[in-house]
Amino acid sequence: MNRKQMLWLKTLVVTGVLLTLSLFSAAPAGAQSLDWTVQDSGTTQSLRGLLWHDGRFIAVGDSETILSSPEGTDWTELNSGPGNSLRGITYGNDLYVTVGSGGTVLTSPDGNSWTKQDQVSSPTLRDIAWNGSKFVVAATPGIPVSDDGSAWDIIEPTVPYGHLDVVWGNGTFVLVANNANIRTSADGDTWTLQSSGVSGSLTAVTWGDGQFVSFNGAGGKITTSPDGVTWTARDSGVAADLRSVTWTGSHYVAVGYDGAIFLSTDGENWTEQDTGGVTANLYAVASNGSLIVAVGKDGVVLTAALPGGEPEPDPEVETEPDPGVEPDPEPDQKPETKPEPESTKPGSTTPLPQTNGSAFPFLIPAGMLALPPAYLLLRRKKERRR
């Protein structure tokens, strides 16, 4: 091989490397934008709490309104006022428990017939979580706890600031509050104050994908933690006033004022969703793993399907699944058919092989794959000279 041929071969190799690098340098794929649909809840009462459990969504709200729906579209009224505003709901100890303003507590063994319990002395109850043996409520003031949902004790009753949300995950209760306060407990009785790393009110918290994620309302800041003790502040770039967050099994979903909905796959990078002009305040969000439901002011309900998702228990109670209860089966689906191979004409595309079970997020032009090896090109050039 002479010097000219060597130079030509080097140029071909460099060109191929540059083309390959340009394909691999594409920005990483983030959470996608979903198709959101406004549903008719059948009520004009604001809905402030939401739960997925045992094959249906249960929403609670003003005037002690309680609704249920298996698919987020057709809603059935289970309870209505007059009464106080219900703000949080969970399932535990074979009991649905919902809490709200005025120290209101309602319980139900089946989600259909509800019984009002004695009022809790804390006047404002905002959310509730269950760890397998104890209920804990985010409240102002103090921390209400109960083993059975009817008899309540107030832990640290002199705590002046308001707890705004609570979650159970990784063997720990996490309470978030005004002034960026975070308190944690392994048993619901003994609590430790943690440093959140941010300022302002922490309005929402969830556990999923190995970490806690909490928002400080309209501040655009989030803070995350693997254990509830060590928190890292992150700039989410989100300016919306967010009020509720959940983990679907594949995405974090956060909702808030003015119809704001954001999705994230890692809890740090968020994609704003186009809700088609919905401007109503959204107060709560839940998912069954394949469907996201958000509820809010004046009974607004929004739904969106998650591609490839499968129904699963509500994240709040997934540590204590009901024995023998299976998730609702997915709707009948057409059997998958393998697409015919793409043409190898220049301009068509051929996917790269999968790695670790997931395909690369880019395509290589099939024309490149059809290029003959360099040594054949050299050989043909030499034969033409003869």
pLDDT at 117: 96
Residue 250: partners with Cβ closer than 8 Å, 6 or more residues away? 265, 289, 306, 308, 309
Is residue 270 assigned to a domain?
yes
Is residue 273 assigned to a domain?
yes
> Is there a contact between 59 and 66 (Cβ–Cβ < 8 Å)?
yes
Q: How far apart are CA 303 and CA 208, in angstroms?
A: 21
The number of domains in the chain is 1
Is residue 48 assigned to a domain?
yes
% of the chain exceeding 70 in pLDDT: 71
pLDDT in tens, 324-358: 334 344 334 434 444 443 333 333 333 333 333 33
For residue 184, is pLDDT > 80? yes
Q: How far apart are CA 257 and CA 17, in angstroms?
A: 48
Per the structure, the complete domain to which residue 70 belongs is given by 37-317
The DSSP H or E segment spanning 135 is strand 135-140
Is residue 27 assigned to a domain?
no
Confidence of residue 159 (pLDDT cuts 50, 70, 90): confident
Confidence of residue 156 (pLDDT cuts 50, 70, 90): confident
For residue 92, is pLDDT > 70? yes
Is residue 370 assigned to a domain?
no
Q: How far apart are CA 248 and CA 287, in angstroms?
A: 5
Name residue 287's amino acid: S
pLDDT at 98: 98
pLDDT at 10: 62
The burial of 287, by beta-carbon neighbours within 10 Å (0-12 exposed, 13-18 middle, 19 or more buried), is given as buried
> Is there a contact between 130 and 317 (Cβ–Cβ < 8 Å)?
yes
Lowest mean pLDDT among 104-108, 189-193, 224-228, 316-320: 316-320
Is residue 342 assigned to a domain?
no
Lowest mean pLDDT among 153-162, 164-173, 265-274: 153-162
The CATH number assigned to the domain holding 147 equals: 2.130.10.10
The tokens describing 30, both together, are: 């983030």
Distances (CA, A) of 46 to 65, 272, 352: 9, 23, 49
Mean pLDDT for the stretch of residues 232-252: 92
Kindly give the residue spans of alpha helices, DSSP state H, lying in the chain: 3-24, 366-369, 374-385
For residue 252, is pLDDT > 80? yes
pLDDT at 199: 87
Q: How far apart are CA 68 and CA 50, in angstroms?
A: 10
> Is there a contact between 49 and 87 (Cβ–Cβ < 8 Å)?
yes
Name residue 260's amino acid: A
For residue 319, is pLDDT > 50? no
Report the mean per-residue pLDDT for the chain.
80
pLDDT in tens, 98-146: 999 999 999 999 999 999 999 999 889 999 999 999 999 999 989 999 9
Is residue 118 assigned to a domain?
yes
% of the chain exceeding 90 in pLDDT: 62
DSSP 219: G
How many H helices and E strands in the chain? Answer: 3, 30
Mean pLDDT for the stretch of residues 215-223: 80
Q: Report which of residues 368 and 268 the model is more confident about.
A: 268
Is residue 375 assigned to a domain?
no
For residue 285, is pLDDT > 90? yes
Q: How far apart are CA 304 and CA 285, in angstroms?
A: 11
* C-alpha torsion 108→111→113→119, nearest 10: 40
**Is omega for the bond preceding 141 within 30 degrees of 0, making it cis?**
yes
Confidence of residue 157 (pLDDT cuts 50, 70, 90): confident
